[in-house]
Structures are given as structure tokens and as C-alpha cells.
């Protein structure tokens, strides 16, 4: 792997983005507003009037929900950027083949791609936290640090879906991944309610999902409350996902593009 | 030292041997071809030369380097026009070149200069800021060639550069490649069109089923494996089978294809006259010069494009 080559790959993504940013930027601003309004404020008023505060440790539903949504949004962004665009580069537009005919190598390509996704995740998460603040859902400036676990979570999913998309021969597997993987994780990993509310047999399963670790960290940073496990474990778990998925991605890319 | 040199070069995909122990050399400034039908192993060979596909067995040297060791350095000095278009269709013509130039670590001002020159060369200057998507097949190919030249490569490898193009677009492209050759760029071209091989290649190898079956200049190959002229005759349906033995002794070699008979002879008109003397009445008679297609037929018993 060569640093300049990685930077070139990031640069190429930025150039492509210059052409295609409009659609994604609009949803970057609107989807947090819509979710926080509908779920945080609308549904929140019901939850706060009922049994909610007891199970949420005295938090308003909006305050509980917002950091979770931040990280869940990062997950979706990461998983999205790691799936169809990768399949396109390998199989549809074949631009990865063109890139790899230059001095850029497979590892440069994978790391550069994830580096770009990291930049995009940072942007999406910063916007989200700003909107959270506008809703009064961030306790202090330190709450802005919730961007970090959001980006790490997004990267864990980006790296994993990148490897998976490179492994697949067609995109039906990607639709399946979103329908039976990403959507359930979005709903059941502590974003909308604490995983302690899940049936007991499901709780351990939820704690294997990287999203839950990111949500734990983000909620702790945004609200100044403790995490379930040590923050080091949560961070470490996300990092392991990123590193292992990236290494698997190297192999999958080589199998498809360097045979 | 040759620019590219292969000894017993082999590519395997599992049990399948796509390139089977081939030997060839390409000298600097030469225009070298791989002629063969689909599945002959041309792309597999090109990908090994382009240092994007590992060699399974044998020896390969490209620009004095070993692709297994110096892949990035080889690719830095190479231009590649792949068989399938790999342009970013969402971007403009110029942006495709800019991104590519950056992959070679070229500074932006230099890339901008080269974009202007290359688009001029590729006759795409007017389309500079247009999206790639709606360009014609010929324009996309020319853009791909321009892109492959952004790093001013010493060696340009082109995998089926005109497959799928109409005749006029092919001639435009051949003209551009001829200019490159004049400028001293070494070309390696694969094709399954014998006319393309004859137009572009100083020297070529004929490939079939992973093996090289003959090597030489188009002229040498035709002289060695064919006659000066070919007499092509079509007979009414069902008649051809019944008259084949009556053609005995008329030509150096007779080839019966499903739809016509080819007589290999140095004097086509003379042979045609003798056919008539024997009382045979073909539906159509054509005398033409021998081509590489005839060489391929002679060597493999099959036609190049079926
Ligand atoms: N990635 C691959 N995996 C398995 N088989 C392949 C692969 N690429 C090519 N082949 C096989 O190798 C043989 C040669 O293919 P190729 O080099 O593409 O020939 P050509 O370019 O002359 O048409 C074919 O039988 C093809 O199916
Ligand atoms: Mg091919």
C-alpha cells in the first residue's frame, strides 16, 4: 500500500462526488429533521407521558433517540456506500478495473474507498449533530464528540459491506443484506429503545451488532451518561470490525480484480 | 533487450489453461498482434502483460521488470485499452482523463495540458465537457485510448480495440493508432479481425486454444501458409457435396466450408477457367487475394469469426 496512491483514490471519489452530491446532500439534511420530528418529538410526547422516563433512566425520548439515530444513520450511509458502488466498480461500470491498470493497487483502492466513505460519514454525522443541537438534544459541546462513534460505526459497516459486495457475483445478495440485515439492526440495536426491552434470548445477539456499540458510545457522549461496558471495549470492538473487514476486503477485491 | 518477453508463459484458471506455454517477444517501436478467435486466450495474455493478472507459470518480462515484483512500476509506464469500456459514464470526457492522470501522480496543470492535446488527437475536443454516457461506441473507444495515453506510455496495449464498431469508426481508430506508431509508441493489439491484424501489425502471432500456432509478419504468414490467390465458389444448395471430387488436382489445396468452396491457387482466374472446362457451374465465383483468415483456416481448420 502506498499513501500517495490512497490519496489519489480519495481524490477520484471527491471528483465523482462533485458531480453527484445533490441528491445525497438533500437527504443528509432532511432525513434527520424528519426522523427527529416524527419519532423524537411526535412519538416522544406519548412516550414521555407514559412509562418511558422510568425505563429510559429519566431521559426524554428525544434525548434518548437522537444519538441512536445519529449512529444508525451513519450505519446506513456506510453500508450504502460500501455496497452498490462497489458492485458497480467491479461489475457494472468497471471503473475499478481501470483504476487498477494504473500504479494504484488493490489495497490502495480499498483503503482509499473507505477513506472517502469516512470523510462522507464525518460530514453526514456533523450535520446530524448540528440538527440534534437545534432540537435541543445535545447536552454540551462535548456532545459533539458523538460524531466519532458514528463515523467508526459507519466505517465498520462500510468495510464489511465492501468486502461482501466484492465477494458477491450479483446484487441480489445486497438487497437481501439490507432487507434481512441492515433494517433489523436499525430497528433492534438500541436505537429506538434500550436492548434490555428485547426478549432475553435476543439481547446478547443485539450486543454483537457493531451498531449497538456505536449507539452506546454516542449516547454516553451526547448525554454525559455512562456506557454499558467500558468505552474501550466498545471502541475496540468497532476497530476490530473495521480492520478485519478491510483485510477480508483485500482478499475479495484480489479474487475479483487480480485473477 | 525486447520490451516484452515471454517464455513458456502460462495462465490457468483452475483446471482450464487459458494461455498454454507461449513464447513471444515484442521489440521497441514494433506493432505486435495477437490474432485469434474468442476464447483463444488473448485477454488473459494481455492482462498478464499489463501486470494485473498473476502469471501461473513460465517467464514474463515487461519493460525489463518482473510483473510479480514491479507491478506498480510497470503499470506506471504502460497504457491499457481494455476489451470492455471502463469509463466513468457519469463524468465528463475531460474529468475521466483528469482522474486517470491523477492515478499516475501527474500534477494537475500538466494533466490539463495533456487533456487538450489528447482530446485533439482523439478528435473529441468539442465533447470535452460533455458526459461520457451518450457518446458513440467509437468515441468511447477513442476516449479510452486518450485516457491510456495520459501518462505518455512507452507501450500501449489494446485488447480488441475495434470490436463492436462500425466500419467507418474502425478506420478512424486505425488511423489514430497508425499515428501513434509513427510517433514511436510500441503497440500490442489483440483482435479476431484479420483485416485489423493486417492493417495494424508489423508482426503477429496466431493464437488458438491458448497456444501460438504461427508467428510472422502478415505477408510472411500468408506466403508460408497460403497461396497468392483464393478462388471462392458457391454452388446451389445440396450440390457442393456432389462435385467436390471433381475439383481434385485443380488447386494446391481445397477447403470446403458449409456455404462455399475455397480453392487455393496462385492464379485464380486460370483455375476458374479450368473449373468451367470441367463443366461445373458455380452460382458465384470470386477471385481474391489470400488473407490471414486463410492462414488461420489452414492452421486450425476453423474460421476466425463464426
Ligand atoms: N477470470 C476467469 N476465470 C475463469 N476462466 C476464465 C477467466 N478469464 C478467462 N477465462 C477463460 O479462459 C479462456 C481464454 O479467455 P480469454 O483470455 O478471455 O480469451 P480471448 O480474449 O482470446 O477471447 C476462455 O475459455 C475463458 O472462458
Ligand atoms: Mg478477449
Per-domain boundaries in chain A = 24-257
> Measured between CB atoms, does B133 come within 8 Å of chain A?
no
* Ligand 1, atom nearest to B207 Cα: 22
Q: What 3-state DSSP class applies to B4?
A: strand
Q: Is residue B64 part of a domain?
A: yes
Residue (of B8, B92, B80, B28) closest to B49 by Cα position: B80
Residues in chain B: 306
**pLDDT at residue A2 in the model:** 77
pLDDT tens profile B131-151: 999 999 999 999 999 999 999
Prediction pTM value: 0.94
Mean pLDDT to the nearest integer, B17-23:
98
Residue (of B290, B165, B126) closest to B221 by Cα position: B290
Which of B217, B235, B257 is the endpoint of a domain?
Answer: B217
Question: Phi and psi dihedrals of A35, rounded to 5?
Answer: -60, -45
| A225 Rama sector, left if φ>0, alpha if ψ -120 to 50, beta otherwise | beta
Whether pLDDT at A189 is above 80: yes
Could you tell me if B31 and B180 lie in one domain? Answer: yes
Could you tell me if B74 and B135 lie in one domain? Answer: yes
Question: Number of structural domains, chain B?
Answer: 2
Geometric angle at alpha carbon A105, from A102 and A106, rounded to 5°: 130
Beta bridge mates, B216 = B204
Cell of B282: 458455380
Q: Name every residue whose Cβ is closer than 8 Å to that of residue B107 and which is 6 or more positions away in sequence.
A: none
Could you tell me if B145 and B24 lie in one domain? Answer: yes
Fill in the DSSP letter of residue A181: I
Mean pLDDT to the nearest integer, B151-171:
95
Q: Is residue B231 part of a domain?
A: yes
What confidence tier does B258 reach under pLDDT thresholds 50, 70, 90?
A: confident
Q: Is residue B260 part of a domain?
A: yes
Give the ligand at the shortest distance from the Cα of B18: 1
Rg (CA), chain B: 22
Chain A residues 98-137 within an 8 A CB cutoff of chain B = 98-105
> Measured between CB atoms, does B86 come within 8 Å of chain A?
yes
Could you tell me if B154 and B12 lie in one domain? Answer: yes
**pLDDT at residue B203 in the model:** 98
Mean pLDDT to the nearest integer, A51-57:
78
Could you tell me if B101 and B206 lie in one domain? Answer: yes
Q: Is residue B268 part of a domain?
A: yes
Q: Is residue B299 part of a domain?
A: no
Which of B199, B217, B235 is the endpoint of a domain?
Answer: B217
Q: Which residues line the pocket of ligand 1, CB cutoff 6 A?
A: A 259; B 13, 16, 18, 36, 38-44
**pLDDT at residue A139 in the model:** 77
CATH of the domain at B30: 3.40.50.300
Q: Determine, for residues B71 and A15 on separate chains, whether the beta-carbon distance falls below 8 Å.
A: no
Question: Among all chains, which residue has been given the C-alpha cell 424528519?
Answer: A34
Could you tell me if B129 and B261 lie in one domain? Answer: no
User: Which chain B residue is nearest to residue A108, measuring alpha carbons?
Assistant: B103
CA distance A144 to A150: 11
Question: Phi and psi dihedrals of B89, rounded to 5?
Answer: -75, -15
pLDDT tens profile A140-172: 888 899 999 999 999 999 999 999 999 999 999
Asked if A16 and B131 touch (Cβ cutoff 8 Å), the reply is: no
Residue whose CB lies within 8 A of the most ligand 1 atoms, among B14, B18, B206, for a mutation test: B18
Which of B217, B238, B269 is the endpoint of a domain?
Answer: B217
Residue (of A189, A238, A196) closest to A215 by Cα position: A189
Asked casually if ipTM beats, i.e. exceeds, 0.85, the reply is: yes
pLDDT tens profile A72-106: 999 999 999 999 999 999 999 999 999 999 999 99
Q: Is residue B222 part of a domain?
A: no
pLDDT tens profile A103-123: 999 999 999 999 999 999 999
C-beta atoms surrounding A14 within 10 Å = 14
pLDDT tens profile A125-136: 999 999 999 999
Mean pLDDT to the nearest integer, A221-239:
94
Could you tell me if B134 and B189 lie in one domain? Answer: yes
Domain span at residue B275 reads 227-289
Chain B nearest CA to A252, separation (Å):
15
Asked if B229 and B287 touch (Cβ cutoff 8 Å), the reply is: yes
Mean pLDDT to the nearest integer, B26-49:
97
pLDDT tens profile B69-80: 999 999 999 999
Pairing of strands B155-159, B78-81: parallel
Whether pLDDT at A51 is above 90: no
Whether pLDDT at A54 is above 80: no
> Measured between CB atoms, does A1 come within 8 Å of chain B?
no
Could you tell me if B170 and B110 lie in one domain? Answer: yes
**pLDDT at residue A57 in the model:** 82
Q: What 3-state DSSP class applies to A54?
A: helix
CATH of the domain at B233: 3.30.70.980
Q: What 3-state DSSP class applies to A246?
A: helix
Mean pLDDT to the nearest integer, A12-29:
88
Question: Among all chains, which residue has been given the C-alpha cell 476453423?
Answer: B302
**pLDDT at residue B306 in the model:** 64
Could you tell me if B13 and B161 lie in one domain? Answer: yes
Could you tell me if B173 and B250 lie in one domain? Answer: no
The DSSP-derived string for B278-289 is TT---SEEEEEE
Could you tell me if B204 and B241 lie in one domain? Answer: no
Asked if B79 and B157 touch (Cβ cutoff 8 Å), the reply is: yes
Amino acid at each position: 500500500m502506498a499513501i500517495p496512491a490512497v490519496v489519489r483514490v480519495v481524490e477520484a471519489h471527491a471528483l465523482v462526488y462533485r458531480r453527484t452530491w445533490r441528491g445525497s446532500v438533500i437527504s443528509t439534511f432532511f432525513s434527520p429533521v424528519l426522523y427527529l420530528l416524527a419519532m423524537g418529538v411526535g412519538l416522544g410526547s406519548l412516550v414521555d407521558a407514559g412509562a418511558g422516563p422510568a425505563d429510559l433512566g429519566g431521559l426524554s425520548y428525544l434525548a434518548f433517540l437522537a444519538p441512536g439515530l445519529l449512529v444508525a444513520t451513519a450505519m446506513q450511509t456506510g453500508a450504502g456506500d460500501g455496497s452498490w458502488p462497489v458492485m458497480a466498480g467491479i461489475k457494472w461500470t468497471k471503473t475499478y478495473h481501470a483504476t487498477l491498470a494504473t500504479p494504484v493497487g488493490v489495497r490502495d483502492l480499498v483503503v482509499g474507498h473507505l477513506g472517502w466513505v469516512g470523510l462522507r460519514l464525518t460530514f453526514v454525522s456533523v450535520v446530524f449533530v448540528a440538527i440534534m443541537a437545534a432540537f435541543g438534544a445535545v447536552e454540551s459541546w462535548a456532545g459533539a464528540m458523538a460524531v466519532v462513534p458514528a463515523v467508526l460505526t459507519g466505517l465498520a459497516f462500510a468495510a464489511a459491506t465492501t468486502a461482501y459486495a466484492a465477494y458477491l457475483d450479483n446484487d441480489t445478495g445486497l438487497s437481501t443484506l439490507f432487507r434481512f440485515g441492515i433494517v433489523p439492526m436499525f430497528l433492534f440495536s438500541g436505537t429506538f429503545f434500550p436492548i434490555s426491552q428485547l426478549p432475553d434470548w435476543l439481547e446478547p445477539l443485539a450486543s454483537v451488532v457493531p451498531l449497538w456499540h456505536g449507539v452506546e458510545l454516542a449516547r454516553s457522549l451526547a448525554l454525559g451518561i455512562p456506557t454499558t461496558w467500558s468505552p474501550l471495549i466498545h471502541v475496540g470492538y468497532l476497530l476490530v470490525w473495521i480492520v478485519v473487514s478491510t483485510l477480508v476486503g483485500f482478499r475479495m477485491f484480489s479474487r475479483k480484480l487480480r485473477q | 533487450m525486447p520490451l516484452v518477453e515471454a517464455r513458456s508463459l502460462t495462465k490457468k484458471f483452475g483446471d482450464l489453461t487459458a494461455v498454454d506455454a507461449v513464447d513471444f517477444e515484442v521489440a521497441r517501436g514494433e506493432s505486435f498482434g495477437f490474432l485469434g478467435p474468442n476464447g483463444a486466450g488473448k485477454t488473459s495474455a494481455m492482462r498478464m502483460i499489463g501486470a494485473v493478472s498473476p502469471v501461473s507459470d513460465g517467464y514474463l518480462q515487461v519493460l525489463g521488470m518482473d510483473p510479480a515484483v514491479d507491478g506498480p512500476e510497470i503499470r506506471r509506464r504502460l497504457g491499457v485499452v481494455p476489451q470492455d469500456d471502463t469509463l466513468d459514464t457519469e463524468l465528463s470526457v475531460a474529468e475521466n482523463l483528469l482522474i486517470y492522470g491523477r492515478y499516475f501522480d501527474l500534477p494537475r496543470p500538466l494533466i490539463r495540458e495533456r487533456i487538450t492535446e489528447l482530446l485533439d488527437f482523439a478528435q473529441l475536443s468539442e465533447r470535452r465537457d460533455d458526459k461520457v454516457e451518450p457518446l458513440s461506441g467509437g468515441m468511447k473507444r477513442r476516449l479510452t485510448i486518450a485516457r491510456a495515453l495520459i501518462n505518455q506510455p512507452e507501450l500501449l496495449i489494446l485488447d480488441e480495440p475495434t470490436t463492436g464498431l462500425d466500419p467507418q469508426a474502425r478506420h478512424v481508430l486505425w488511423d489514430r493508432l497508425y499515428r501513434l506508431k509513427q510517433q514511436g509508441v510500441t503497440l500490442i493489439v489483440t483482435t479476431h479481425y484479420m483485416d485489423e491484424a493486417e492493417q495494424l501489425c508489423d508482426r503477429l502471432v496466431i493464437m488458438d486454444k491458448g497456444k501460438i500456432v504461427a508467428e510472422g509478419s502478415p505477408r510472411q504468414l500468408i506466403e508460408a501458409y497460403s497461396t497468392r490467390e483464393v478462388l471462392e465458389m458457391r454452388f446451389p444448395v445440396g450440390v457442393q457435396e456432389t462435385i467436390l471430387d471433381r475439383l481434385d488436382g485443380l488447386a494446391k489445396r481445397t477447403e470446403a466450408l458449409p456455404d462455399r468452396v475455397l480453392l487455393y491457387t496462385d492464379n485464380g482466374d486460370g483455375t476458374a477457367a479450368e473449373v468451367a472446362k470441367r463443366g461445373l457451374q458455380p452460382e458465384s465465383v470470386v477471385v481474391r487475394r489470400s488473407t490471414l483468415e486463410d492462414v488461420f483456416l489452414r492452421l486450425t481448420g476453423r474460421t476466425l469469426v463464426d
